[in-house]
Structure formats: C-alpha cells, structure tokens
C-alpha cells in the first residue's frame, strides 16, 4: 500500500497557469470519474483552491498508485493544458513526504497566509466531494481524517491560526470590528474588483456582512466578482450616492489619484445625516484623501495602519511555527506507523488462521480419545488452547507493531512468512 500526490501552489505555479488548472466542483467530479476509469483500484482526492491544485492518490495493492509525474500529466490532460508547461511547475511526493505535505496544507502551514482557517474547510470539502464521486477508500479515508486531526491540534495547541495575518483579514477583524459590533445590518461598499477586493469580500462574508455593493471603473469586472461572491454591483459614475448609503467602505483600486477627494466627501457627508463611516483604504496610492479621516464620525485606516498590525501579528505567529511543525511531525509518524501496521494484517490473519486450524484438529483428536468429557470440560480445554495460542502469537505481533513505528516491517514480515510457511 502506498500514497502519492502531485500539484502546486502559489509558491510554484504562476497565477496564469493556476487559473487554467483550477477545477470547479463539477469539473472536479468529472476528473475524479475519469481517474477511476483510467486508474481502476486506486483512490483519489482532488484539492483545488485559488492558491493550489493538488491530486492525492492511494492504493493498497503492491503496484501502488500512479507516480507523481503521471498524476501531474493527468491534471494537465483534464484541463486541456500543455503537459510540458505543467511538468516544469507541478511537483509531487510519495509516502511519508506526501503525508506530511497534506498535514501542513490542512494546518495552514503551506498557505499564503500562515495558519489561514479557510484551508481546513477546503480540505474537508475536497474529501467529501471525492466520497460522493466514489473515488475514496480506506487509505484516503484514514489519511484525510488524520490531516484534519493534525490541523485541529495545530489550531488548539499553538497560536499559529489565532491571529489575523493578511491585510484584508486584519482590516475586517481588527479595525472594522473595532467600530461595528455586527455586520449583518451594515451596508458595505467595495471600490475596486481585484484580488485584494475579492479576499476582503470573503472575510466580510465570514464576518456576517450581507448587503455588499461593488463598484469599479470596469463594469464587467465588477459584475464578475459580484457573481462569484454573491454581491450586487453599483454605479461607479455615481460614487457620491454609493458613499452616502454606505456604512463601511473598502477601497482597493489602482488609481494614481485619490478616488474620493475631500471636497467630494464633504458634499456626501451632508447626506449621511451623522451616521458613522468606516473606511478601509487598502490602495497604494491611497484612494481617500487623508484629511477625510479628521471629519466627525469617520474612521479612516490606510494600508500603513493595517500593515503595521499585520507585521506585528506575523512576528508573533512565526514564533509558533516550530511548535506547529512538531505537531505535524508527530501526527505524520503516528499515521505512517498505523499504515505500516496495516500491511501486517494479512500476515497476522494467516498466523491466527493457521494456529486456529491446527488447534481445532488437535482438539477434535483429543475429544475423540476422551469421549466421556462433558461439554463444560471440553469448553474449558478449548479456552486453554485459545489462551495458549494467543500467548504464543503475542511476541511476533508485538514485534510487528514495534517495527511498524519505524517503517515498513518488510524484513520481519518475510521472516515470519518463511518460518511459518505463509503464502503471499
């Protein structure tokens, strides 16, 4: 039995290629069905997020699952991407290295944002989708359950995932939440439709925001982001009306000049009737005139304000990384020990079957020679035989368990097969 994975993340795969390799839920289901047809008998789970694409495979047979390079080619074929391009950026691992990689991924230790909480849910969703597609089995089942257990330990035993790290997450969780106790009744205006805007919108959704409008110079981009993340679009040309209605503004444009000047805001402020306004200006150069922050009832935070908090959180979180990696190593050794022990099950079953069969033969012979034994006496003798067999089998079984913790007990298994004349 063995495990393998192939894939890449934001660290190794350019975004232009990640976009081509990305799988929607429907496309992932189709790919898993295709995998089952192309590699019968192997288990598979496909993990596709905005920052990574990875295919995990397992097989209990001696032949093992497809190797990483073959898995990478499979991903390329499914998405119609030139395999030569994929081969240069998609890596892979087998065995222990593959297990440790998945555990790090689930715990957020391989994420763009160290310890991000979203990834563990994405890992769980990938596993559930594979279950529905019928491509899972005992190996991937134990693997992904162990990955979720490792992630939970990292979360509960370290501070890696307890503090916000990305600028958008800090903007929402530290700054906006410092003014508003709740977001479900607030009107949010998002100015811009790029990557920063999309990430911020996801954090706002997690915080409970429901009424979100997106405006952008490119109406098409605004519509695209709104459709993907279930928001509405507004009128960029009527930005004063949009500002007048908003409670929270997040601005992430690439404009070279302020989008909202002091004069524009002063005209808007009269329409707001004293309602408080939080502005998270995540743009460089800034989208809002800094003097707007001095207006009554306005909380204006720039990228510098957020960056300082982000750096502080990052330094505190990095101190927890060694402890998190120690947990991953412990859980990896635990899983690999369990998996290696699984390989001993056929030998153990053969040993037990052989001893039981021999014992039954000898008991039948004994009982024929002692026909006057009552049922109670026969049962007592039978139990004594079973206890004797169990005690005799205990040392080799204990040795197998001990050897499994250090690695595949191939040598001991072969020795037992030869000593007891066991077949493959």
Domain boundary among 137, 162, 187: 162
Residues in contact with 43: Cβ distance below 8 Å, sequence separation at least 6, in sequence order: 57, 58, 59, 65, 135, 136, 137, 139, 140
The three-state DSSP-derived secondary structure of 221-279 is: HHHHHHHHCCCEECCHHHHHHHHHHCCEEEECCCCCCCCECHHHHHHHHHHHCCCCEEE
- Enzyme catalytic residues: 50
Which range, 158-162, 329-333, 383-387, has the best average confidence (pLDDT)?
Answer: 329-333
> Is residue 56 helix, strand or coil?
strand
| Residue 73, domain member (yes or no) | yes
Q: What single DSSP character describes residue 62?
A: T
Q: Which two three-digit tokens encode residue 374?
A: 């009552």
Strands (E), 145-247: 187-191, 211-215, 232-233
- The whole-number pLDDT of residue 31 equals 97
Find the range with the poorest average confidence among 140-144, 163-167, 304-308: 163-167
Q: Which helix (H) or strand (E) holds 86?
A: helix 83-89
d(CA 422, CA 105): 41
Looking at the structure, do residues 188 and 70 belong to the same domain, yes or no? no
The domain containing residue 205 runs over which residues?
Answer: 167-305
pLDDT in tens, 13-38: 887 788 788 888 899 999 999 999 99
Residue 286: how many CA atoms within 13 Å on its side-chain side?
19
- The whole-number pLDDT of residue 10 equals 82
**Is 121's pLDDT higher than 90?**
no
* CATH number reported for the structural domain that contains residue 19 in this entry: 3.30.460.30
- The whole-number pLDDT of residue 157 equals 92
Terminal-residue alpha carbon distance, the chain:
14
Candidates 75, 67, 89, 73; CA nearest to 9 is 89
Contact 150, 328 (CB under 8 A): yes
| Residue 335, domain member (yes or no) | no
d(CA 56, CA 4): 6
How many domains is the chain partitioned into structurally?
3
| Residue 424, domain member (yes or no) | no
Residue 399 vs residue 263, higher pLDDT: 263
Candidates 82, 68, 105; CA nearest to 20 is 82
Looking at the structure, do residues 25 and 76 belong to the same domain, yes or no? yes
Looking at the structure, do residues 202 and 152 belong to the same domain, yes or no? no
| Residue 261, domain member (yes or no) | yes
**Is 396's pLDDT higher than 90?**
no
């Amino acid at each position: 039995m063995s495990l393998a994975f192939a894939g890449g993340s934001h660290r190794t795969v350019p975004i232009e290629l990640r976009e081509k390799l990305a799988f929607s839920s429907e496309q992932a289901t189709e790919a898993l069905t295709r995998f089952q047809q192309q590699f019968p008998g192997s288990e598979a789970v496909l993990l596709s997020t905005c920052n990574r694409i990875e295919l995990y495979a397992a097989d209990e047979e001696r032949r093992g699952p497809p190797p990483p390079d073959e898995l990478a080619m499979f991903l390329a074929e499914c998405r119609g991407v030139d395999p030569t391009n994929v081969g240069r950026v998609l890596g892979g691992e087998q065995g222990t290295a593959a297990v440790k990689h998945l555990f790090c991924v689930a715990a957020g230790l391989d994420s763009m944002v160290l310890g991000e909480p979203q990834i563990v849910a994405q890992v769980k969703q990938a596993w559930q989708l594979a279950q529905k597609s019928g491509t899972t089995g005992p190996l991937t089942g134990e693997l992904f359950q162990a990955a979720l257990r490792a992630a939970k330990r990292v979360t509960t035993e370290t501070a890696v995932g307890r503090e916000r790290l990305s600028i958008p997450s800090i903007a929402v969780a530290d700054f906006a939440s410092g003014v508003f106790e709740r977001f479900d009744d607030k009107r949010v205006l998002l100015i811009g439709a790029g990557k920063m805007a999309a990430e911020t919108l996801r954090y706002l959704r997690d915080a409970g925001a429901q009424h979100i409008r997106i405006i952008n110079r490119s109406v098409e981009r605004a519509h695209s982001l709104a459709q993907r993340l279930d928001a509405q679009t507004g009128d960029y040309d009527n930005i004063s009306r949009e500002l007048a209605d908003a409670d929270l503004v997040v601005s992430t444009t690439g404009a070279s000049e302020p989008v909202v000047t002091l004069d524009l805001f002063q005209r808007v402020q009269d329409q707001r009737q004293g309602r408080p306004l939080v502005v998270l200006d995540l743009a460089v150069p800034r989208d809002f005139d800094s003097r707007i922050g001095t207006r009554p009832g306005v909380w204006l935070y720039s990228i510098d304000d957020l960056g300082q908090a982000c750096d502080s959180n990052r330094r505190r979180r990095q101190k927890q990384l060694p402890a998190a990696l120690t947990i991953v190593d412990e859980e990896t050794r635990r899983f690999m020990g369990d998996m290696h022990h699984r390989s001993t099950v056929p030998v153990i079953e053969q040993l037990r079957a052989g001893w039981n069969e021999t014992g039954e033969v000898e008991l039948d012979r004994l009982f024929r020679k002692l026909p006057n034994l009552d049922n109670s006496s026969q049962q007592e003798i039978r139990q004594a035989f079973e206890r004797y067999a169990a005690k005799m089998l205990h040392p080799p079984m204990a040795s197998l368990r001990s050897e499994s913790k250090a690695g595949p007990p191939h040598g001991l298994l072969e020795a037992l097969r030869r000593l007891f004349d066991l077949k493959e």
